[in-house]
Structure 1
Amino acid sequence: MNKFNDFLENKVMGVAGRVASQRHLLALRDGMILTMPLVIIGSLFLILSNLPIPGYSDFMAGIFGDQWATKLSYPVGVTFDIMALIATFGIAYRLAQSYELDALTAGAISVSAFLLATPFQVGYTPEGQTEAIMVGGAIPTSLMGSRGLFVGMIIAMLSTEIYRWVVKKNFVIRLPDGVPPSVSKSFIALIPGFFVLTSVWVIRLIVEQTSFGSLHEVVGKVIGGPLGVLGGSLGGSIVAELVIVLLWVSGLHGANIVGGVMAPIWYGAMDENRIAFQNNEALPNIFTQQFFDNFINVGGSGATLALVICMILRARSKQMKQLGRLAAGPSLFNINEPIIFGMPVVLNPLLIIPFILAPVLAVITTYIGMSTGLVAKPAGIAVPWTMPPLLSGYLATGGKISGAFMQLFNIGMTFLIYYPFFGMWDKMKRKEEDQEFMDTEAGTDRPTNAVNL
């Protein structure tokens, strides 16, 4: 055990710590988080337009007319369909902040560069025809949403790095000190902004001479395609979950680190399911952000709600009983730092085993349930990760009770995984408490005239 702890502390924590503090990964994570409030708001309207209540459609049609579902989809479109645009701004903003640059300017330049990389063409099918006609001068919303995430990420980092390089070389216009700061900053951004937009413009002109046609096609096929296969497969998802829990047992926030890389893939799959769900079509993807948030990491990373249940029902040591009561509330909302650092799970060879096994087996069982059709797939509804289980499973699958049953099954299965290991840990703690009590009693019963030598 000591050798294992030394390996985690000296090898894993060192490498993982450097990865966790890498500024580009942090910017990716924070930029994606910026989209979450909008996506959750859009999901609320998506739920309202698809409530599985008998007579609900007729009731809504009586109030808003036959087009009530279309009208409820307006907020869905302006939240999900600008995901890449918001992420581009957020990533550039956070990256510029880490370089101590003018973050607002960097974000604005990145958004402009992202739009420059996007062909302003949309398909239009006239009435009575079957073939679409490409119409120019319109921003394609399909590329502003999940399909444009990878391009937005690359443009945000590229534009900010160019911006930083130009400012570092002092190729800027500086006005006298008496000029208002807002005016001075706008002039400082002129030359860096010119460099950024010119670079993206040249890249676009070059790509348009190839068979790809646009940067979105290049990134989608070269980067998005392979990563999408990895993130959308059972093997790739197991690897991702393994990395998350291995980082956690080293004391690092695994979900944030891995999410910075995998979030664009899982959000893209979520949005594909959302579009299919709105159109009453078969859902194409199993592995989405909600698959991991709501079905695998029940109670937090490592599926630790089951461990808390073990503590509440079977703990014999005072320490575990108290910790179980304290952790019950947060764990119900998928917050498990009290368990990970208080029990602890971090650098604990005994509890690391079920902490890894439980979520990996949950990935496999949930995949089997959804791939066979026994359990409904995630419907593309962005259910917050803090929503309690059963309710989150029901909502994430678009109002299907099978989602709640899948969560219940996973909780029971992970309880059986955690139980024997927790029993050993609890027994160790009970012995420590008994020994401490005996030592205390022995110290109390010593004769008052005893002499310490």
Structure 2
Amino acid sequence: MLGTFIMSLPQNFTLALKGTLGKGATKLITDAGGVVDGKNVSMWGFFNFNKFFGSYGFFTVMIMGALAMTLYIWLMKKNVTIRMPESVPPAIAKAFTGIIPATAALYLAGIVNYLFSVNKTTVIEFIATIVQEPLLNMSQGFWAVLLMTLLVQIFWFFGLHGTNVLGPVLDSIWLTAQIANMNAFMKGEALPFVWTRNAFDLYAWIGGAGSTLLLLIAILMFSKRDDQRTVAKLSIAPGCFNVNEPVMFGLPIVLDPIYFIPFIAAPVVMVSIAYGAHMLGWVSPVKNQIVWSMPPFVNSIIATMDWRAPILQAVNMVIGFLIYVPFVKAANKLDPELHMTEPPVEKTKEATDDDRNLEGDAI
């Protein structure tokens, strides 16, 4: 994948000079094949690492990598490989197997790059303009953020890891926006995007998808069911680090009609509040990348470097907690232990008389 990406890059580098070059520096550049034109220097055989190896080239990596791997797999299935004699050890023979498919994949990337260069453009610039920029602009809309939050919750409710299932979409769009924010922050520039990948973790999925950490707190405070309280006690520690599989499958939330509504509603309401706060400028957007397992409050401070972020996180936690509480109380009425013992059956007068007659016959 890296090889195909490099083959897709323009093999030139243009730099705007802040001052005038001396004669020695100018001669050194021209001798290396570069061109000095006014305050611009163009060099062939160099990559613009700051531009192409950041968020600008994220989509190109995925698209060109997917094309290359498709060709590689197809050639491997068709046995278009170098076959070594049986006397060659298997480990060495396998090393030669992928030479032809890998070379073909690199040539494919080179041919695509050449075709674009004929039209005075590059693959990476074309993909960034036609695909990446429109998707990034769409991702900053409220309905896009809300839809992604809702879909993750629905997948989780049916037992599928929603964050992993939709990971390619989350990472390709909102992680790209986050990388752009990180680059802008390091350069001291204004952050270009309001909502990024880690914003979901900070404000919508506190304790994991569905903000289940708030459900665990509600259960420990209001639940009268021993089974749910036991699961909550075992799940509270991993929940502080956003690991919620114990509660998802142990309570369970998966396919549970009681908790379906709050499991969907809590993150939707929380992400709506957080999005509004960001759009109003009350909280700074994410500018540092964090790991998903970082506990609440700590993650918001590190990610945003804004003291208002943990306050917004606390507000969301209170609201999510209040959404879960009524359903925890409703679950108390469905305690399975209440249905374990059957109430005594009252005998009718006729049944009692029959019993007496049977006793008399037995005597």
| Structure-1 residue corresponding to 2:8 | 117
| Structure-1 residue corresponding to 2:237 | 329
After superposition, the C-alpha distances for 1:178-206 in whole angstroms (9 at most, x for unaligned) are 22445433432232223222222221111
**Structure 2 residue corresponding to 1:200, chosen from 109, 118, 126:** 109
| Kept in 1: contact 2:12–2:44 (CA 8 A) | yes
| Kept in 2: contact 1:320–1:426 (CA 8 A) | no
| Structure-2 residue corresponding to 1:420 | 326
| Pair member with larger Rg | 2
Q: Aligned-pair distance for 1:290?
A: 1.1
The 3 A distance-change label for structure 1 pair 336 and 120 is: same
**Structure 1 residue corresponding to 2:148, chosen from 240, 247, 261:** 240
Residues of 2 paired with 1:157 and 1:395: CA distance?
Answer: 34
Q: Aligned-pair distance for 1:311?
A: 0.7
Q: What SS class does the counterpart of residue 42 from structure 2 fall into? A: strand
Q: What SS class does the counterpart of residue 428 from structure 1 fall into? A: coil
| Kept in 1: contact 2:170–2:197 (CA 8 A) | no
2:225 corresponds to 1:295: no
Of stretches 304-313 and 180-189 in structure 1, the one that deviates more from structure 2 is 180-189
How many pairs were matched up?
Answer: 327
Residues of 2 paired with 1:323 and 1:434: CA distance?
Answer: 19
**Structure 1 residue corresponding to 2:80, chosen from 152, 171, 191:** 171
| Structure-2 residue corresponding to 1:20 | none
| Structure-2 residue corresponding to 1:62 | none
2:313 corresponds to 1:407: yes
Q: Aligned-pair distance for 1:230?
A: 2.7
2:339 corresponds to 1:435: yes
After superposition, the C-alpha distances for 1:324-380 in whole angstroms (9 at most, x for unaligned) are 21111111111111221122211122211111111111111111112212122111x
Of stretches 149-158 and 222-231 in structure 1, the one that deviates more from structure 2 is 222-231
Q: What SS class does the counterpart of residue 325 from structure 2 fall into? A: helix
The 3 A distance-change label for structure 1 pair 427 and 176 is: same
Residues of 1 paired with 2:268 and 2:237: CA distance?
Answer: 24
CA RMSD of superposed structures (Å): 2.0
Structure 1 segments of 4+ aligned residues over 6 angstroms from their partners: none
| Kept in 2: contact 1:316–1:427 (CA 8 A) | no
| Structure-2 residue corresponding to 1:133 | 41
| Kept in 2: contact 1:146–1:264 (CA 8 A) | no
5+ long unaligned stretches in structure 1: 1-109, 443-453
Q: What SS class does the counterpart of residue 14 from structure 2 fall into? A: strand
Residues of 2 paired with 1:179 and 1:293: CA distance?
Answer: 52
Residues of 2 paired with 1:132 and 1:426: CA distance?
Answer: 73
2:175 corresponds to 1:267: yes
| Kept in 2: contact 1:332–1:388 (CA 8 A) | yes
| Kept in 2: contact 1:230–1:237 (CA 8 A) | no
| Structure-1 residue corresponding to 2:355 | none
The 3 A distance-change label for structure 1 pair 351 and 132 is: farther
Residues of 1 paired with 2:343 and 2:251: CA distance?
Answer: 24
After superposition, the C-alpha distances for 1:208-262 in whole angstroms (9 at most, x for unaligned) are 1225x11112211222123212322211111111110011111100000111222
After superposition, the C-alpha distances for 1:18-58 in whole angstroms (9 at most, x for unaligned) are xxxxxxxxxxxxxxxxxxxxxxxxxxxxxxxxxxxxxxxxx
Identity of matched residues, %? 30
Equivalent runs, 1:2-401 vs 2, <5 Å:
110-128=1-19, 131-141=39-49, 142-210=51-119, 213-379=121-287, 381-398=288-305, 400-401=306-307
Residues of 1 paired with 2:241 and 2:343: CA distance?
Answer: 39
Residues of 1 paired with 2:338 and 2:94: CA distance?
Answer: 67
The 3 A distance-change label for structure 1 pair 179 and 327 is: same
5+ long unaligned stretches in structure 2: 21-37, 346-363
Residues of 2 paired with 1:441 and 1:134: CA distance?
Answer: 93
| Structure-2 residue corresponding to 1:445 | none
Residues of 1 paired with 2:11 and 2:270: CA distance?
Answer: 43
TM-score normalised by L of structure 1: 0.68
The 3 A distance-change label for structure 1 pair 235 and 134 is: farther
Q: Aligned-pair distance for 1:387?
A: 0.9
Residues of 2 paired with 1:367 and 1:216: CA distance?
Answer: 31
Of stretches 145-154 and 405-414 in structure 1, the one that deviates more from structure 2 is 145-154
Which residue identity is paired with 1:124?
L
Q: What SS class does the counterpart of residue 271 from structure 2 fall into? A: helix
| Structure-2 residue corresponding to 1:97 | none
Residues of 2 paired with 1:284 and 1:204: CA distance?
Answer: 29
The 3 A distance-change label for structure 1 pair 131 and 371 is: farther
Of stretches 173-182 and 310-319 in structure 1, the one that deviates more from structure 2 is 173-182
Residues of 2 paired with 1:231 and 1:385: CA distance?
Answer: 20
Which residue identity is paired with 1:160?
M
Residues of 2 paired with 1:223 and 1:386: CA distance?
Answer: 31
| Structure-2 residue corresponding to 1:28 | none
Residues of 1 paired with 2:45 and 2:95: CA distance?
Answer: 28
Identify, as 1 or 2, the structure richer in helix.
1
Residues of 1 paired with 2:11 and 2:267: CA distance?
Answer: 44
Residues of 2 paired with 1:167 and 1:275: CA distance?
Answer: 39
Q: Aligned-pair distance for 1:114?
A: 1.5
The 3 A distance-change label for structure 1 pair 180 and 250 is: same
TM-score normalised by L of structure 2: 0.84
Q: Aligned-pair distance for 1:415?
A: 0.8
| Structure-2 residue corresponding to 1:449 | none
Which residue identity is paired with 2:10?
P
After superposition, the C-alpha distances for 1:278-306 in whole angstroms (9 at most, x for unaligned) are 23332222211110122210010011111
Of stretches 295-304 and 133-142 in structure 1, the one that deviates more from structure 2 is 133-142
Q: What SS class does the counterpart of residue 208 from structure 1 fall into? A: helix
